[in-house]
Amino acid sequence: ATKQGSIMSFFTKK
């Protein structure tokens, strides 16, 4: 099974 990750975990907050 796969789970959907959040895009926020890949990019840093400016």
Residues that bind other proteins (CB under 8 A): 1-14
- Give me the least distance between CB of 9 and other proteins, in Å please: 7
The structure tokens listed for 6 are 């959040």
